[in-house]
A = this chain, B = another copy of it.
Amino acid sequence: MRQWGVPSHHRLKHRVQFYETDAAGIVHFSWFYRYMEEAEHALWRKVGLSISPRDAKIGFPRVSATFDFHHPLHFEDEFEITITVVKITTKTIQYKTVITCKQSDIATGSMIVACVSKTPGQPMKSITIPREIADRFQPSD
């Protein structure tokens, strides 16, 4: 039975670090994918889970990730990352992300992750998301 009312989204603040900037004077675009994942992992912690506990037998590799970039971020900018679970299928979780800074839309992203089993020496294999994990999230738009 799904637990209605459990959180489906999370917002966290981040300040641009110098090592995240590039010679164009702005955050290198590769960092946005890391910000999205950082918010995802914080969301998992909020519902009482770690996405990668030590010696875990399952994992959640990324199937796809995309970003549209609207405005740049600069050194020491404080911005917000909001991540939302938009869909859960038997084997995947889909997220969308909005990054904002001072009421300005900076970037919008989305990501799909799949549940896999990890056996040493063998390729990862797609499996059904365990119910005790899927039940922690309540998809929304």
Contact = CB atoms under 8 A, between A and B. Distances in A.
Contacts of A75: 23, 50, 52, 54
Given A61-B24, A63-B68, A33 B29 contact: yes
Interface string A25-66: 110111101100110010001000011101100010111111
A69 B62 contact: yes
A61 B66 CA distance: 16
A72 B124 contact: yes
Interface residues of A, number: 44
A34 to B, nearest CB: 5
Given A29-B62, A63-B68, A22 B22 contact: yes
A22 B24 contact: no
Secondary structure class of chain A's binding surface, majority of residues: loop
B29 A18 contact: no
A4 interface: no
A28 B24 contact: no
A132 to B, nearest CB: 19
Interface of A: 17-19, 21-26, 28-31, 33-34, 37-38, 41, 45, 50-52, 54-55, 59, 61-69, 71-72, 74-76, 118, 120-121, 123-124
